């Protein structure tokens, strides 16, 4: 469907005014919850978060990259800056290349069992300083680079989406893997040969290349 047609509401082209009419006024708490520094609550949230999603753009294309390590892997360097280690992955480095072209980023922190999330919008820069990277070594392996994110907006998201989805409720989780193995899907997506389509092979690769 054409994007312009898709964006049209029932009575014509969608506009900010039309959206506000549909959704109503923003709540006072939501309107005023944005801060520009890491207070004690933000620092505590980040210290307990083992997982985040980093969103980047080169000005045209977008990338959302999951990142995880033991809780506390992100360091609050100052009242306005974060340090995020970048571990080995598939070497596409889409997000890092995006940052070089367009340094605006968004980071969403998640804590298992906590419905609320913490979001940081800001500007990122990439460092390969050896001493800085060594500060984040795990099992003797340092990250390849470290991101320094200077915060412009910091705010909490309410937990409605995780609550609705049952994200942290084990009783809602599937008892068996509901999708094919990683390499089975890659084989079909890319129409290429893979060493094995067993999920155990992917898990073995994770263990061998985790750090």
Q: What distance in Å separates the CA atoms of residue 131 and residue 10, rounded to the nearest whole number?
A: 58
Tell me the mean pLDDT in the region 69-81: 97
134 neighbors 141 (Cβ within 8 angstroms): no
**pTM of the complete model:** 0.90
Q: What distance in Å separates the CA atoms of residue 56 and residue 101, rounded to the nearest whole number?
A: 10
Confidence of residue 28 (pLDDT cuts 50, 70, 90): confident
Enter the tokens of residue 165.
Answer: 């989805």
Enter the tokens of residue 12.
Answer: 């014509």
35 neighbors 71 (Cβ within 8 angstroms): no
Confidence of residue 8 (pLDDT cuts 50, 70, 90): low
Decide: residue 127, CB within 10 A, 0-12 exposed, 13-18 middle, 19+ buried.
middle
Of 111-115, 150-154, 200-204, give the lowest mean pLDDT range. 200-204
Confidence of residue 13 (pLDDT cuts 50, 70, 90): confident
Q: Residue 45: what pLDDT?
A: 98
């Amino acid at each position: 469907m054409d994007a312009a047609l898709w964006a049209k509401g029932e009575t014509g082209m969608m506009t900010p005014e039309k959206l506000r009419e549909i959704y109503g006024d923003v709540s006072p708490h939501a309107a005023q919850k944005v801060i520009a520094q890491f207070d004690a609550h933000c620092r505590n949230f980040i210290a307990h978060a083992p997982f985040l999603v980093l969103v980047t753009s080169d000005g045209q294309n977008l990338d959302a990259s999951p990142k995880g390590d033991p809780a506390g892997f992100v360091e609050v360097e100052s009242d306005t800056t974060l340090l995020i280690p970048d571990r080995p992955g598939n070497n596409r480095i889409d997000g890092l290349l995006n940052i070089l072209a367009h340094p605006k980023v968004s980071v969403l922190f998640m804590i298992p069992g906590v419905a609320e999330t913490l979001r940081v919008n800001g500007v990122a820069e990439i460092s390969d300083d050896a001493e800085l990277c060594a500060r984040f070594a795990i099992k003797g392996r340092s990250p390849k680079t470290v991101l320094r994110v200077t915060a412009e907006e910091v705010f909490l998201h309410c937990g409605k989406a995780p609550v609705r989805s049952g994200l942290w409720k084990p009783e809602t989780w599937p008892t068996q893997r509901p999708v094919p193995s990683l390499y089975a899907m890659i084989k079909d997506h890319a129409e290429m040969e893979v060493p094995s389509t067993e999920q155990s092979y992917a898990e073995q690769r994770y263990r061998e290349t985790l750090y």
